[in-house]
Structure 1
Amino acid sequence: MQSLFQILMLLLDVVWFFIIAHVIMSWLINFQVLNLHQQLVAQIWYGLNRILEPLYSPVRRLLPPMSGIDLAPLVVLLGVFALRIILINNAALFY
């Protein structure tokens, strides 16, 4: 059961990394540091969008429109942290 706990924590860490990379990349694209006309940048950007959109879309439906500010990544990050806290506090069940 300990391996299940470690796998769940690893998955949450990977999701956290993807969200942080997506947020940083969106800032760099919006400030025109990165260009989507470059093939590698476009592939990474669209790959991250395809991975994270299933997490963002339910949250975006619940949040009110914020006039151009997307708070879905923040809400999903808070959810990931909440799941980590729940798993760590209940880690004794996995041992």
Structure 2
Amino acid sequence: MRAILDVVMLVLQLYVYVLIASAIMSWLVAFNVVNTRNNVVSAIWDFLYRITEPVLRPIRNVLPNLGGIDVSPIILLLIIFFIQRVIQLYLYPAVF
């Protein structure tokens, strides 16, 4: 059981990195630092969008319109950090 919790923690941590990469990539695209017509950039952007958008879309639907500021990645990061703390503090000690 502890191995399963370790895998869940690892997947959550990897998703945090993907979420941060997606936010940085969106800034780079928005400020025209990278060109999305480049095949490599387009493939990375598409991958990050497909991985993060299904989780971020329901959060965006619940949040009010803040006029161009997207705080849904921050909310998702807080949720992930909360899940990780619950696993560390309550589930790990219960599993021996």
Q: TM-score range by the shorter chain?
A: over 0.9
The separation in 2 between residues aligned to 1:94 and 1:51, in whole angstroms, is 31
Residue 14 of structure 2 aligns with which residue? 14
Is 2:4 the counterpart of 1:4? yes
Is 2:29 the counterpart of 1:29? yes
> What is the one-letter code of the residue matched to 2:14?
V
**TM-score scaled by length of structure 1:** 0.95
What RMSD in Å do the two structures reach over aligned CA positions? 0.9
The Cα shift of 1:70 comes to 0.8
The separation in 1 between residues aligned to 2:35 and 2:64, in whole angstroms, is 30
The Cα shift of 1:93 comes to 2.0
* Runs of 5+ consecutive residues of structure 1 not aligned to the other structure: none
Q: Percent identity?
A: 35
Is 2:83 the counterpart of 1:94? no
1:30-60 residue CA offsets vs partner (Å, 9 max, x unmatched): 1211110110111111111111111101101
Task: List structure 1 runs of 4+ shifted beyond 3 angstroms.
Answer: none
**TM-score scaled by length of structure 2:** 0.94
The separation in 2 between residues aligned to 1:63 and 1:74, in whole angstroms, is 12
Residue 50 of structure 2 aligns with which residue? 50
* Runs of 5+ consecutive residues of structure 2 not aligned to the other structure: none
